[in-house]
Amino acid sequence: MLLEQGHQMSVVKEGLSVPTSFSPMRSKEPDATQTPTAQQPRCETTRLMLAVRDHRDKQAFSSLFDHFAPRLKGFAIRSGVTNGQAEDVVQDVMLSVWNKAHQFDPNRADVSGWIYQIARNRQVDLFRKNSRPVPEELISDDVDTCDAEQIVGLEQEVTALRSALTRLTPSQRELIEQAYLGELSHSEIQLTSGIPLGTIKSRIRLGLEKLRHELKGTTSK
Amino acid sequence: MTHISHHISDALMAAYVSGNLPQAYALVLATHISMCDSCRASYAAHASIGGAVLDGSSSVSVSPVLRNRVLDMLDTPPREDKPFRASGIFPAPLMQAMNGTPPRWRALGAGIRQSVLYREKSCSARLLYIPAGEAVPEHGHGGLELTLVLQGAFEDETGRFGVGDMEIADGELDHQPVATGDVPCICLAATDEPLNFKSLLPRLLQPVFRI
């Protein structure tokens, strides 16, 4: 990992179209007047992830890599691992994104949240001797995921959540960052005030109900 | 799916999602989420906050070698880890913790049995089997105790807990759960200290029974 020494300190804030620290990756061709269709979720990362999932699109994957890999690396380094270990985490997480793409369901998860979860699980697994207990996966190969209303509804909730995060005071925001970087124990975390978690939970719940319905349909065939 | 009325708090969920909950508690949460859609939604909501933090975090450029290596590896079939499946009353994460085998019960007296699944200095997780009508011996605990019902139900000073319900008890609570209903109560419990059973077993025997 000596070759990578030069990269270790090159911390850059990559240019994003929206100047807030919690902004999601937006479409490169924003068109406020156009209603998203079933084929066109508004969020660029959702589109890319669906291309990876449904068409094994390597070009889309490399775009996701270019967006997420530097952030995942910064995230890993901030949580205390070395440059080399951080690159191991990035490799492991991005390959999981590719290999577990069939588990991505835009009805009940946004891409950043889904990748965040993979990253935390993998980082814990890589540096502890026990693999971390994770919930049972709910998957159906036959789920029709082109429910534009639900997908766009969830994207809107995620946007609202992010904008609520930007309205927090700097110290509250710092607390959130520390918590989700895994720096706080559960008794140190007090974070519900000011974050509209209830609405996003009910939206995700709708996505789950849809999936439950589909799973029921497939098992009764 | 039965009605679940005792859920995971936001603070616990945030600690779990961020990978900062000790293993024994993480096992209880993973098992509860597997049984409870409301907490599965909460799990994803907390991951969304994590995703927002990830998106807003400082980027550190990755080496071109890494990028090329990852792109080259896309055609390599991944090493398949066979996922554990739920079996009977035991959801998948619990089956994984038991390595796919049924629990190995050890008698504690009065028909009560336990099976220690996971144990280290900072925390332990066990299955408890309590015949209907029996009380879990009165115990205090030094810190957080999570108890998830897998079969039957129990009641204590704070309420009734049925299948899927998770009780969160802190060190202050000196409770005495009693199994209710027609079937034995089987639950998954995680503590950060050895349980201090006050009546059933003398303290000296606790190491023998791995409590």
Domain ranges across chain B? 1-211
pLDDT band, very low/low/confident/very high, at A100 (cuts 50, 70, 90):
very high
Which pLDDT belongs to residue B197?
A: 55
Q: Is the pLDDT of residue B120 over 70?
A: yes
Decide if pLDDT at A143 tops 60: no
The first and second tokens of residue A116, run together, are 């965040």
Indicate the range of A58-72, A170-184, B65-79, B184-198 predicted with least confidence: B184-198
* Chain B residues near residue A180 by CB distance under 8 angstroms: 14, 17-18, 49-50, 53-54
Q: What are the CA-CA distances from residue A186 to residues A142, A150, A190 (Å)?
A: 38, 32, 8
- Check whether A99 has a pLDDT greater than 90: yes
Q: Do A135 and B40 touch (CB under 8 A)?
A: yes
Q: Which residues of B touch A132 (CB under 8 A)?
A: 19, 23, 26
Is the pLDDT at A17 greater than 90? The verdict is no
CATH code given to domain B1-211: 2.60.120.10
d(CA B168, CA B71): 45
Nearest CA in chain A to B12: A186
Taking CA–CA distances from A187, the nearest residue in chain B reads B11
Q: How far is A42 from chain B (nearest CA, A)?
A: 17
Q: Do A99 and B78 touch (CB under 8 A)?
A: yes
Query: What's the pLDDT band for B87 if we cut at 50, 70, 90?
Result: very high
Using a CB-CB distance cutoff of 8 angstroms, which residues of chain A are in contact with residue B42?
197, 201
B99 part of contact set with chain A, CB < 8 Å: no
Q: Which residues of B touch A117 (CB under 8 A)?
A: 17, 47, 50
Q: A129 vs A21, which has greater pLDDT?
A: A129
Choose, out of A22, A44, A78, A180, the residue to mutate when testing the contact with B (most B CBs < 10 Å). A180
**pLDDT of the residue at A7:** 37
The whole-number pLDDT of residue B141 equals 66
Q: Does B37 contact A11 at a Cβ distance shorter than 8 Å?
A: no
pLDDT band at A34 (very low <50, low <70, confident <90, very high): very low
Distance CA B211, CA B209 (A): 6
Question: For A201, which of B21, B34, B45 is closest by C-beta distance?
Answer: B45
Please calculate the CA angle B195-B201-B203 and round it to the nearest 5 degrees.
65
Q: Does B89 touch chain A (CB under 8 A)?
A: no
Q: Which of B69, B73, B93 sits opposite A134 (nearest CB)?
A: B93
Return the pLDDT at B3. 85
Distance in Å, alpha carbon of A148 to nearest chain B alpha carbon: 19
User: Which pLDDT value is given to residue A148?
Assistant: 87
Taking a contact as any Cβ pair under 8 Å apart, which residues of chain B between 1 and 40 contact chain A? 10-12, 14-21, 23, 25-27, 29-31, 33-34, 37-38, 40
Across the interface, do A124 and B19 touch by the CB < 8 Å criterion? yes
Position A50 scores a pLDDT of: 94
Does the pLDDT of residue A162 top 60, yes or no? yes
A41-128+144-219 folds as Rna Polymerase Sigma Factor; Chain: A (1.10.1740)
The residues, ordered by sequence, that sit 6+ positions from A36 with a Cβ below 8 Å of its Cβ are A42, A148, A152
The Cα–Cα gap between B106 and B117 comes to 12
Please give the residue that has the higher pLDDT: either A146 or B130.
B130
Average pLDDT, chain A: 79
Does A170 score more than 60 pLDDT? yes
Chain B hits for A18, CB-CB cut-off 8 Å, are none
- Looking at chain A, which residue has its C-alpha nearest residue B85? A136
d(CA A199, CA A158): 10
Those residues with Cβ within 8 angstroms of residue A93's Cβ, 6 or more apart along the chain or in another chain: A68, A72, A115, A118, A119, A122, A123
Which chain A residues are within 8 Å of B92, Cβ to Cβ? 135-136
0.90 surpassed by complex ipTM:
no
Strands annotated E in chain A: 11-12
Q: What is the pLDDT of residues B125-165, one digit of tens each?
A: 999 999 999 988 666 567 889 999 999 999 988 899 999 99
Task: Report chain A's C-alpha Rg in angstroms.
Answer: 18
Structure tokens at A73: 């690396």
Q: Which pLDDT does position A139 carry in this prediction?
A: 74
Residue A140 above 80 pLDDT? no
* Confidence label for A125 from pLDDT (cuts 50, 70 and 90): confident
Asked if B87 is an interface residue toward chain A (Cβ–Cβ < 8 A), one would say: no
Q: From the list A94, A162, A185, which residue is nearest B52 (CB)?
A: A162
A157-182 mean pLDDT: 91
Secondary structure element (H or E) that encloses residue A175, with its range: helix A170-180
Return the residue in A136, A168, A174, A199 with the most chain B beta carbons within 10 A, the one to mutate for interface testing. Answer: A136
Residues 6+ apart with CB under 8 A from A9: none
Pairing of strands A11-12, B196-197: unpaired
Q: Is the pLDDT of residue B76 over 80?
A: yes
Q: CA nearest A183 in B: which residue?
A: B20
Question: A42-51, pLDDT tens digit by residue?
Answer: 789 999 999 9
Q: Would you state the pLDDT for residue B78? A: 86
- Answer whether residue A28 shows pLDDT above 60: no
- Residue tagged 């000073």 (tokens): B157
- Say which range, A149-153, B77-81, B157-161, B187-191, has the weakest mean pLDDT: B77-81
Q: Which of A11, A91, A108 is the closest to B66 by Cβ?
A: A91
Q: How large is the average pLDDT for residues A86-102?
A: 95
Neighbours of A86 (CB within 10 A): 27
Chain A within 8 Å of B122 (Cβ-Cβ)? Answer: no
